[in-house]
Structure 1
Amino acid sequence: MATAQGRDWSSLPVDVLAQILSRIKWSSHPSFGLVCRQWQYACTLSPFYPAWITPLLLSATNVGTTSFRYYSPYYHKNFEIATKLDTPGAKMYCAKGLHLMLGSEFMVLSAELGTGAVCELPPTARPGFDFAVYDGVGRVCGVEAITGLTVSLAIKDSNDGWGEWEEHDIDDFHLVRAPFTASPDCNPVLHDGLLYVMGEDGRLIVYNGSSQDQRFEILEKPHGFGFKCHESYLFESDRGELMAALVGRRGTPVDIVKLNKRTMEWEKRERLEGRALFTGTLTTMMKRTNIKWMQDKVFLPRLFNWPETIHVDLVERDNELAFVPKLGSALPTKKGGNNDTNMWTHELGQGKEASPFWGTERLDYSIWVDFSNC
C-alpha cells in the first residue's frame, strides 16, 4: 500500500500517456509535455505538425493523378498526403478551409482537401477562367480578365446543387470611361458582397451580381498607385480592409497599400501591426501571428532550397488539423520557425536595404491555403 501511495502522475506508463494524447486537442500537447520528462517523452512518440500555425502553400504533382503537397514556411518542409484527385493539370483557383476550387476546360470543380471528393459545377461557356473566387458559402465568380473582362456567376441552390452560370461581359454595358485593363495578377476579391477587380494602374472596377441594370462600375477613384510596380495583388485583410501588395522587379521594393474609403485613394502602410502577409499566387492573405520573426514580413513563393518532403496523413481532431507522419517518414523536430527562413521574405520598412530574390526558385502552380479556422 505504501508503494502505491508513493506513485504520482509522472510514473504513468508511456502507453497510457499515449492514449491520453490521442484524445486531447493537438494544441494541448505542448502544455502536456511541460508536466515532466516522462510526459514530454510521451509527446515525442505521438509526432505531428500543426497545420494551422501559418498559411500553407498548396501545390500539386501531375503524375497520372493530382496529389496534394503543402509547404510550411514555418517548418520549411513539404507535407505530401496520399489523397489524389483524378483531375491532372487542373488549375487551382482558391480555397476556403478544406474546400478547393479548380478549373479545367469548360469546367469548374469543387474538391474536398481532406477526402479528395470532387463535385463538378455545371459546364461553362468559357474554355477556362483566369481567376475564380469562392465565398465559402455558395457563390463562385469565374473571371476572365486578361483579354477584356467577363464575370460568370454560379450560385448553390437549396438542394446543395449548383445553378447554371450567369455570364456578364463588361462590353455589354457600354461604360463611357476609357477601356479598363485588368492587372494580369489582379486577384479579384469579394469585398462587402461585391467583386473588385484591380487594373494594372491601380484603378478598380466593381461587379455587382445582384444588380439588373448596371453590373459593372469603374470607380472614379482611386486614380492609381502613384508609382509603378512589377506585380500587384489585391486582397482583403483580416480586418476587412481592401489592400494590395505591390512587388517590384526581382522582389524589391515591396509596398503594401490600403484603400482609404473616405478619400478613395491608396495609402502606403509601413507596418503590418504584428501580421504577416502571404502573397505571390492567385490567393493572398494576411494573418496575425505570435511568431516574432514572421511579424511585418511579406512571404512570396520563392525558395532558396528545396525542402524535405514528409509523407503524412491530414488528420482532424476537435476542429484542429495536423499533419501526422506515416510510418517510416521523418519525425518532426519540434523546433522550427527561426530567422534563417528558406523562403524569400521582405520586411516592411527595409527600403533599399532589402535583398532581391536572386538565387531563389519559384514554386509555380500553387496557392496559399489557411487551415486556422477549419
Structure 2
Amino acid sequence: MGKAVGLVENCVPTSLSNDQESKEGQQEPWCNIPKDLLDSPPPWLCSFRNTGNNMERCKFFHPMHNDAYEIRINPEVSNATILFSGYGWLLLSKGYGQLFLFDLTTKQSIDLPDCSEDMVSVMSFTSSPASPDCLVVGLSSVSDIAASFTYKLGEDSWNVYFIELDRLFLTKDCSPVFHKGLFYCLDRKGCLIEFNPNEPDQSWATYKMRLPERESAAHQTFMLEKEDNLLAVLITEDSKSVHVYKWDDEEKMFQPIKRLGDYMLFVSHGASCSERAIVKATD
C-alpha cells in the first residue's frame, strides 16, 4: 500500500456519504447504501484526501460495484502512511517511527510504542486490535540477517529478535501473513521466511520457491489466505504475467495452481484477501 490507498477487508462504516451528497454536507447512513452493495460489502478500497477547509475525508470505493462513499476522518490519519489493514482497522505510520492503529468504523485510535524506521519495512497484525490477543509484527532484513519486531497490545515496548538466515532475503513490500499460527513473508526472488511469533528467536525457517520459467525475479509479490490455504501471487518482472501458487504445509513448497474456482483475489502491498465471485461477470 502507498500513503493514500489501502484495501480494507472487513469494514462496515456506520455513516457514509456519496460524492454528490458530501459536497452538500449531508451524510448518508450505512443502511441506505444500495442493497446490492450490502450483499457483499468487503473488500473496499480506501483513500485519503484533503477537500480544503480542514475537511479530511476517507473515500471508500467498491471494486465490484463501481460505487464510492466517504466518511470524515482526523487530519493526523489522512497524513499517515498505510502499512497494513485488516478486520476494519488500519496500521498507520506518521513517520519517524510513530505507529498507530485506527478503526475506520468507530474512529478509535491506538498509539503504539515508537520504533526504529527500519521496522516499518513490512508489518501486519494477527487479529482485530479490539482483541486482547492481537499481536503486531514487523519484519526487516538486510542480506542474510533478519529481524522480527513483535508487540502485544498493552505492553510497554517492542520485542526485537535478530536471526541469521541461511540465504539472502530482502523485504520489500509483501506484508507478512499469519497462517495456522505462523507468519510467512515472501521476497521477489522467491525466498520464503516462516517463523512462529511466540518463539521468534528459535523458530525461523527459509524456503526457496521455483519462479516461473525464464524469470529471475518477480516484479511484485503478494500473499494471502484463501479458505484454509496460503496463496502467493507473483507478477513477473519480464513478462508482467500473473502466477498463483498454493503452499503445501507438509511438503514445505509452493505448488502452481491454474484455477481459483468461484473466488476472486484482491491484492495490495498492505493487505490482500479473497472473496467469492458472487457478482455477475466477476467470475
Q: What's the TM-score once normalised by structure 1's chain length?
A: 0.57
Partner of 1:281: 269
Matched, 1:263 2:264: no
- Post-superposition offset of 1:151: 1.6
Whichever structure has more helix as a proportion of its residues is: 1
| 1:127 Cα deviation from its structure 2 partner | 5.9
Post-superposition shift, 1:72?
1.0
Q: 1:96 to 1:280 in 2, by over 3 A?
A: closer
What residue in structure 2 maps to residue 372 of structure 1?
none
Instruction: State the distance in 1 between where 2:114 and 2:57 align.
Output: 24
Amino acid at match of 2:234: L
Q: Quick check: 1:116 aligned with 2:113? A: no
Shift of 1:215: 4.3
Q: Which amino acid aligns with 2:124?
A: V
Q: Deviations over 1:206-252 (max 9, x none)?
A: 22222275142223xx4433432321112222x12111111235984
Q: Which amino acid aligns with 1:132?
A: M
**Letter matched to residue 168 of structure 1:** Y
Query: Could you say which structure has the greater relative contact order, defined with CA pairs below 8 angstroms and 6 or more residues apart?
Result: 1
For 2:204 and 2:66, the matched residues in 1 are separated by 42
For the residues of structure 2 that align with 1:164 and 1:204, how far apart are their CA atoms?
Answer: 27
8 Å contact kept, 2:64–2:279:
no
Q: Alpha-carbon deviations, 1:286-339, whole Å to 9, x = none? A: 1123224112xxxxxxxxxxxxxxxxxxxxxxxxxxxxxxxxxxxxxxxxxxxx
Q: How does 1:154-193 map to 2 (within 5 A)?
A: 154-156=151-153, 161-170=154-163, 174-175=164-165, 177-182=166-171, 184-193=172-181
Q: Is the 8 A contact 1:202 1:224 kept in 2?
A: yes
Cα deviation, residue 125, structure 1:
3.4
Partner of 2:23: none
When Rg is computed on C-alpha atoms for both structures, the one with the higher figure is 1
* 1:206 to 1:249, Cα distance in 2 relative to 1, 3 A: closer
Change (3 A) 1:56 1:66: same
* Residue identity in the other structure for 1:189: V
Q: How far, CA to CA, are the matches of 2:66 and 2:225 in structure 1?
A: 26
Residue 341 of structure 1 is matched in structure 2 by none
% of aligned pairs identical?
20
Matched, 1:140 2:136: yes
The size of the alignment, in residue pairs, is 238
For the pair 1:100 / 2:90, whether they are aligned, the reply is: yes
- The CA deviation at 1:255 is 1.5
Q: What is the match of residue 76 of structure 2?
A: 86
> Would the aligned equivalents of 2:161 and 2:201 in 1 still touch at CA under 8 Å?
no
Matched, 1:224 2:207: no
Moved more, 262-271 or 134-143: 262-271
Q: Is 1:203 paired with 2:177? A: no
Q: Unpaired segments of 5 or more residues in structure 1?
A: 1-45, 296-374
Aligned residue among 221, 231, 234 for 1:243: 231
Change (3 A) 1:142 1:67: farther
Structure 1 residue matching 2:74: 3-state secondary structure: strand
Q: Which amino acid aligns with 1:48?
A: I
| Equivalent position SS for 1:115 | coil
Contact kept, 8 Å, 1:130 with 1:146, in 2: the verdict is no
Q: After TM superposition, give the deviation of residue 180 of structure 1 in Å.
A: 2.2
What are the Cα deviations for residues 238-284 of structure 1, in whole angstroms up to 9, with x where unaligned? x1211111123598421111112333332222211100110133211
SS at structure 2 position matched to 1:281: coil
For 2:64, the aligned partner's letter is Y
- CA deviation profile, 1:131-170 (whole Å, cap 9, x unmatched): 22111241100223477632210012xxxx3441101223
| 2:73 counterpart SS class | strand
One-letter identity of the residue aligned with 2:150: L
TM-score, normalised via structure 2 length: 0.74
Partners of 1:178 and 1:230 in 2: CA distance: 20
Structure 2 gap segments, 5+ residues each: 1-30
The range that moved more, 243-252 or 86-95, is 243-252
Q: Residues 313-352 of structure 1 correspond to what in structure 2 (within 5 A)?
A: none
Structure-2 separation of matches of 1:287 and 1:246: 19
Task: Give yes or no for the alignment of 1:234 onto 2:231.
Answer: no
Measured on the aligned residues, the alpha-carbon RMSD in Å equals 2.7
1:48 maps to 33
